[in-house]
Amino acid sequence: MKKTRSDRPTKPAGAAKTGSVGSAQRQLKVKVKFAHKRSTSSNQWLERHLNDPYVAAARTAGYRSRAAFKLIEIDDKYHFLKPGQIVLDLGAAPGGWSQIAAARTRADKPAASNPGQIVAIDYLAFDPIAGVEIVQLDFMDETAPGKLKSLMRSAQADVVLSDLAAPTTGHTRTDHLRIMGLAEAAIAFACEVLKPGGAFLSKVFQGGTEGDLLRILKQHFAVVRHIKPPASRAESAELYVLATGFRGPTT
């Protein structure tokens, strides 16, 4: 039975268990220096970033980015990352999601029983992460899918993560179409490599076309959820879709 759900948690999960986000929320507000040298919008973004509790918590925890908490919060609720899994991370730089995936699949502990495998791809270079095989290549390059498949230790993956994003142009409609195009490419790839029962998590943006992606996902997955994790800024149009229970390749 097909299901579509909308989940908008109101309290931080994951890191909140250790108190790291809550502690960061109590820090003194940081003021932007040399504000006169930047535009108003740049100053607003920088001040918001410097005073973001998730940014501070990520720094304290040693995560590459605040995005790590988005994956923590989603997985803490839906538990799709498990020890021993093969996970592909698309658009991985600077590596926040790969860090969490490696820890939760035990890919960062190769000597442990049932270690996982993480293969990450991005056109940007980023520092090595324990348990993560990194491919520096544009996912939209025609050779990228084959390269990722060649690194997998078996023919099928358990989870495909996609935080793919295109460089912005400043034109809202164009930027939206670009990100949705990347999401469509990620879905097509996931349907090629996932094993039956597998999961797919992808960033999307509200803007009128995400409904088309949901229709595609519901054809291939048993459950599709729209999620706005607490770590995603409230004012952002960013959303995530989590599709679980992959039905297998269609004939």
Taking alpha carbons only, the member of 225, 215, 223, 220 closest to residue 248 is 220
Distance between CA atoms of residues 95 and 112, nearest Å: 22
CA distance 55 to 66: 5
Rg (CA), the chain: 18
Q: Which helix (H) or strand (E) holds 117?
A: strand 117-122
The rounded Cα 152 to chain-centroid distance in angstroms is: 19
Alpha helix segments (H runs only) across the chain: 20-25, 40-50, 53-61, 67-78, 96-105, 144-151, 172-193, 210-220
List 77, 203, 218, 228, catalytic entry? 203
CB 158 within 8 A of CB 199: yes
- CA dist 58 and 29 (Å) reads 17
Q: Is 203 a catalytic residue?
A: yes
Cα 90 from Cα 224, distance rounded (Å):
19
- Give the integer Cα–Cα distance in Å for 33 and 27: 18
Known catalytic residues are 203
